[in-house]
């Protein structure tokens, strides 16, 4: 399987293909897309903070977003992990 974080890509074509082939309703496919995207982002947050995914909490996640925002402001958007 392709690394979903390679080149900051959270959701790969392979992920989308697997989800589209699933025998579930459209809203369930959309929820699956959100879940896969979220899992990829949580993996990156865990990696950056040195915390296991299961030990992440709202405070740690928001601290990561604050740090990410600070990097974007101080060093520019290209220095930040998130590219949106």
Identify the band that residue 66 occupies on the pLDDT scale cut at 50, 70 and 90: very high
Decide: 41 and 10 in contact? Cβ < 8 Å: yes
Structure tokens belonging to residue 60: 């740690």
Mean pLDDT of 51-75: 95
What pLDDT does residue 1 have? 42
User: pTM score, two decimals?
Assistant: 0.76
Residue 70 has pLDDT above 60, yes or no: yes
Question: Higher pLDDT residue, 7 or 56?
Answer: 56
- How does DSSP classify residue 81? S
For the chain, what are the domain ranges? 6-79
């Amino acid at each position: 399987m392709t690394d979903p974080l390679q080149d900051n890509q959270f959701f790969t074509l392979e992920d989308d293909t697997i989800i589209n082939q699933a025998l579930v309703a459209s809203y369930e496919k959309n929820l699956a897309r959100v879940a896969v995207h979220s899992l990829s982002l949580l993996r990156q947050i865990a990696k950056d903070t040195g915390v296991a995914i299961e030990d992440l909490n709202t405070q740690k996640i928001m601290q990561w977003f604050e740090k990410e925002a600070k990097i974007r402001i101080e060093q520019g958007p290209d220095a930040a992990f998130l590219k949106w």
